[in-house]
Amino acid sequence: MGYNSPSMRDPFKQNKMRFYFKFSMIAFAVVIGVGVVMLLLKTRQSRIDYTQSDFVQYKEPADSASVVVFETTEGTFKAVLFDEEAPHYCEYFKDLVEDGYFNDTYVCTILRSGDYTGGFITGSKTKDGLAADDTNTEMVKLEVSPNLLPTTGALGSLVSQGGTFSSAKAGSVFAVFADVVDVEEMRSAEAEDVNGYGRVCELFEKYGGVPNYLQMYTLFGQVYDGWDTIDKINSTRIVDQDAPEDKEDRNSQPEKEIKITKAYLSTYGEQKQNGYTIPPKKNLTGKDSAEDTSK
């Protein structure tokens, strides 16, 4: 499943946009076949188990919970951080926010394949994802929590070095996930309920997301407000929107400039005017696939 490309070995000196697009294709493969998901779930049994998971991102947080407010050129969105699930990365991320690092950073990649959009990559100092002189290249060891899933609106970060997942480390750029999972295909697949596969499927069925993620990202946050902004960013055309899918070095940079103009720390108590909402995905009729259980 890994790519042994130069960009994987030295991501900060290569084109991050190319790296993340190639890496995102792993996620998009789920739309075609769910076998990879099942394989990963089975082979990671001793390392992660969802049967007893307390999926905290679907529960309203305490008023004291850390929140980052992202003001962008497309509007504002807010995300709660899970300090207990990814303590080292959250500390690193909050330090960057407090230092103003993410102010005037770019959305450098829209993770799109065909009609599917898996989210976007942001926090880049450059439009195309290339490292700049002021790019923070510090790396934080990958943290994996059984209480978080990369469903729609989850925040995650990964840079994989050496071409193997075992050496994966998270950096300053991060993804905001959208939905590419084929729920019907997941449900129709015959699979044992290994490590809580059934519970995981239920949440992907309800909220959508990118399911073949296991131990590939440090998941550290969840968007809960500003979904119109997220939708605007995800619907942005990419530079090579009309290019063939198999075009080498397909440019997935947004056609127009999209920036985080300001990011700042707050708390949920200060930022819960609209409540805590993770909207269920829509089915083909446009109706919610499940009742709203945002609480």
How many other β-carbons are positioned within 10 Å of the β-carbon of residue 6?
13
Total number of domains constituting the chain: 1
Q: Which of 31-35, 213-217, 257-261 has the lowest mean pLDDT?
A: 31-35
For residue 55, what pLDDT is reported? Answer: 96
Mean per-residue pLDDT, 66-94: 98
For residue 187, what pLDDT is reported? Answer: 62
Structural domain boundaries, residue 109? 6-48+65-242+250-267
Does residue 286 belong to any structural domain of this protein?
no
The number of residues in the chain equals: 295
Place of tokens 């998971």: 53
Share of residues in the chain with pLDDT > 90 (%): 49
- Model pTM greater than 0.85? no
pLDDT digits (tens, 9 = 90+) for 114-154: 778 899 999 999 999 888 999 998 989 889 899 999 999 99
Does residue 137 belong to any structural domain of this protein?
yes
66-72 and 259-267 strand pairing: antiparallel
Q: Report the alpha-carbon distance of residue 61 to residue 82 in Å, rounded.
A: 9
Listed residue (67, 69, 129) closest to 261, CA to CA: 69
Phi, psi at 99, each rounded to 5°: -80, -5
Q: Is 273 buried (19+), middle (13-18) or exposed (0-12) by CB count in 10 A?
A: exposed
Mean per-residue pLDDT, 211-230: 86
Q: Report the alpha-carbon distance of residue 48 to residue 52 in Å, rounded.
A: 10
Does residue 57 belong to any structural domain of this protein?
no
Q: pLDDT confidence of 57, banded at 50, 70, 90?
A: very high
Does residue 273 belong to any structural domain of this protein?
no
Q: pLDDT confidence of 39, banded at 50, 70, 90?
A: very low
Q: Which of 67-76, 119-128, 156-165, 220-229 has the lowest mean pLDDT?
A: 156-165
Give the distance, in angstroms, between the CA of residue 45 and the centroid of all CA atoms in the same chain: 23
Please give the C-alpha separations between residue 9 and each of 5, 161, 292, in angstroms, as whole numbers: 7, 5, 42
- For helices 197-207 and 35-43, the axis angle rounded to 10 degrees is 140
Place of tokens 């089975």: 42
For residue 162, what pLDDT is reported? Answer: 40
Does residue 294 belong to any structural domain of this protein?
no
pLDDT digits (tens, 9 = 90+) for 163-210: 433 446 788 999 999 988 876 666 666 556 677 878 888 899 899 998
Does residue 75 belong to any structural domain of this protein?
yes
Does residue 58 belong to any structural domain of this protein?
no
SS3 annotation, the chain: CCCCCHHHHCCCCCCHHHHHHHHHHHHHHHHHCCHHHHHHHHHCCCCCCCCCCCCHHHCCCCCCCEEEEEEECCEEEEEEECCCCCHHHHHHHHHHHHCCCCCCEEEEEEEEECCEEEEEEEEECCCCCCCCCCCCCCCEECCCCCCCCCECCEEEECECCCCCHHHCEECCCEEEEEECCCHHHHHHCCCCCHHHHHHHHHHHHHHCECCCCCCCCEEEEEEEECHHHHHHHHCCCECCCCCCCCCCCCCCCECCCCEEEEEEEEECCCCCCCCCCCCCCECCCCCECCCCCCC
We report the CATH number of the domain holding residue 198 as 2.40.100.10
Place of tokens 């005037």: 104
Mention every residue, 6+ apart, whose C-beta is less than 8 A from residue 97. Answer: 68, 263, 264, 265
Does residue 21 belong to any structural domain of this protein?
yes
Mention every residue, 6+ apart, whose C-beta is less than 8 A from residue 100. Answer: none
